[in-house]
Amino acid sequence: MTDQVLIFDTTLRDGEQSPGATMTHAEKLEIAELLDEMGVDIIEAGFPIASEGDFKAVSEISARAKDATICGLARANYKDIDRCWDAVKQAKSPRIHTFIGTSELHRAIPNLTMDEMAERIHDTVTHARNLCDNVQWSPMDATRTEWDYLCRVVEIAIKAGATTINIPDTVGYTAPVESADLIRRLINTVPGADAIIFATHCHNDLGMATANSLAAVAGGARQIECTINGLGERAGNTALEEVVMALKVRNDIMPFTTRIDTTKIMNISRRVAAVSGFAVQFNKAIVGKNAFAHESGIHQDGMLKNKETFEIMRPSDVGLAGTSLPLGKHSGRAALRAKLSELGFDMADNQLKDVFVRFKELADRKKEVYDDDLIALVYQNSGDEDHVRLKSLRVVCGTEGPQTADLTLEVDGAEVTTSATGDGPVDAAFNAVKALVSHEARLQLYQVSAVTEGTDAQATVSVRMEEDGRIATGQSADTDTVVASVKAYINALNRLIVRRAQNTVGYDTKGVSYKDV
């Protein structure tokens, strides 16, 4: 058995499925390109039947992919599979991934008997294989499926031509010993199992997704399904960065390799956090802000003497630049270019020009511009295609009330101004936006965090809003928290306007459900 573990990334499908994580078309293309560049073997780019948008994204990612196999998801029916094939067929290496829920609870949804479902699996996998040489089949909720039935349907799928069998722990229920055992027993029991690849797909409801995925590899799985930052429904999926770094750092006891260039991890993690609106928790393994921070005196002392005292991997292994001197208002374009390149951003001249203008503005307000400030700056939306833009904001707040916001926006090219009051400066400013840009969206989340230390630090604000089932997230950073809040709110609003025009809603209500097999 080979020691290479294939990395199957489903950030753009299972990850994007988390309520609120919906990405724009351009963002999906960008993330797919970064995944391809970092050496992901298979990119699950979306669920083509779910919407025109998903279909378009999977097709375009397929056409652009350089190395990665591009995969689309399809339920167990011919219409889904045909649509999926239409989207992935232009890829150099296409894959159809078809699935059906096989546990008793899941069988009840389409109301199929065991025999009827077995026949459905045979027919749909055969159909997919007639279209594409590379077919993945998943028995959804495999870890809660009766053992005999699981063996039976896996054998049917292999005989019908599936080249990869994925064993999902859909509800994050399994534990590491079971995860290893299940794969091992399937390989030893099911006829034909030695000729195909087994994959593991774990959800993190009990916080065991990474451990379960690694255990499955020990049991014989050679494909791990995962997402960047562990993005995904409920508690998320297995985090790519965790399994890849665990296999690298503990290669002594897990002698497996992946093709991932780990130095690209931080960059893609930041990007996925920014476009999904799901910030990474500070103490998240590998990519959290504190993952390589050593605060306590005893730790710092140890680190100064020998880094290995408290570090099992180097920050540079995951693409974190070593701490270097901050830039300031006298730093020139060349210094900025050098620093950005150190942080992994190689910019074209026109992009640099734009970032330089914003850097100077920030340096005027903030004495020292740190790496994290620059990253926030680079990811700041240029606003060129926005319907709504912030022109000016003046807020009166403090103990004397009323809290008032005077706001001027540019809405589709025309300047509009208003004043509004509210419970605090942010509420007043948001009320002013609402008065100028009419909408029924409900604010679901409002989150502020400091990019760096100090009272002049930039605040990063994330907002999530929902209107008629459409969810949009927005982010922004500024040294003024209220300005950052309004920019983030406007960012989300602009996305909502695009979504209204496309008439696309979130995944859950896109008009498909797992029921329509």
Residues that bind Zn ion (CB under 5 A): 14
∠ CA(74), CA(78), CA(82), 5° rounding? 70
Residue number with CB closer to ligand KIV (75 or 487)? 75
- Choose, by CB under 6 A, the member of 70, 100, 140, 340 that binds ligand KIV: 140
Q: From the CB of 138, what's the least distance to ligand KIV, in Å?
A: 4
Q: From the CB of 8, what's the least distance to ligand KIV, in Å?
A: 10
Stretch that binds ligand KIV, among 23-31, 162-170, 296-304, 316-324 (CB under 6 A): 162-170
Q: From the CB of 88, what's the least distance to ligand KIV, in Å?
A: 16
Q: From the CB of 286, what's the least distance to ligand KIV, in Å?
A: 22
What is the SS3 assignment for 105? helix
From ligand KIV, Zn ion, none, which one binds at residue 99 (CB under 5 to 8 Å depending on kind)?
Answer: ligand KIV
Residue number with CB closer to Zn ion (166 or 460)? 166
Q: From the CB of 196, what's the least distance to ligand KIV, in Å?
A: 16
Strands 6-9 and 223-226: parallel
Q: From the CB of 13, what's the least distance to Zn ion, in Å?
A: 8
Residue number with CB closer to ligand KIV (14 or 373)? 14
Residue number with CB closer to ligand KIV (426 or 517)? 517
CB 230 within 8 A of CB 204: yes
From ligand KIV, Zn ion, none, which one binds at residue 212 (CB under 5 to 8 Å depending on kind)?
Answer: none
Angstrom distances, CA of residue 193 to CA of 144, 199, 220 = 20, 12, 11
CB 488 within 8 A of CB 517: no
Strands 459-467 and 442-450: antiparallel
Stretch that binds ligand KIV, among 22-30, 163-171, 353-361, 432-440 (CB under 6 A): 163-171
Residue number with CB closer to Zn ion (204 or 494)? 204
How many chain residues bind ligand KIV (CB under 6 A)? Answer: 9
CB 374 within 8 A of CB 389: no
Q: Does 55 bind ligand KIV (CB under 6 A)?
A: no
Beta pairing partners, 202: 169
Using alpha carbons, select from 336, 505, 513, 485 the residue that is nearest to residue 397: 485
Residue number with CB closer to Zn ion (13 or 499)? 13
CB 224 within 8 A of CB 230: no
Q: From the CB of 164, what's the least distance to ligand KIV, in Å?
A: 11
What is the SS3 assignment for 371? helix
Residue number with CB closer to Zn ion (10 or 51)? 10
- Choose, by CB under 6 A, the member of 168, 230, 425, 474 that binds ligand KIV: 168
Residue number with CB closer to ligand KIV (170 or 404)? 170
292-297 LR contacts (CB < 8 Å, sep 24+): 292/320
Angstrom distances, CA of residue 331 to CA of 12, 325, 327, 391 = 38, 11, 6, 27
The 403-411 sheet, strands edge to edge: 388-396, 403-411, 414-422
State the binding string over 68-107 for ligand KIV (x if CB under 6 A, else -). -------------------------------x--------
Residue number with CB closer to ligand KIV (73 or 245)? 73
Using alpha carbons, select from 229, 218, 224 the residue that is nearest to residue 187: 218
CB 164 within 8 A of CB 137: yes
Which letter does DSSP use for residue 92 in this model?
S
Beta pairing partners, 470: 467
Beta pairing partners, 97: 73, 136
Angstrom distances, CA of residue 450 to CA of 52, 74, 287 = 38, 41, 17
Q: From the CB of 473, what's the least distance to ligand KIV, in Å?
A: 22
Q: Does 16 bind ligand KIV (CB under 6 A)?
A: no
Residue number with CB closer to ligand KIV (201 or 270)? 201
- Choose, by CB under 6 A, the member of 170, 212, 223, 258 that binds ligand KIV: 170
Q: Does 319 bind ligand KIV (CB under 6 A)?
A: no
From ligand KIV, Zn ion, none, which one binds at residue 11 (CB under 5 to 8 Å depending on kind)?
Answer: none
Query: Which residues lie near ligand KIV (CB under 6 A)?
Result: 14, 99, 138, 140, 166, 168, 170, 201, 203
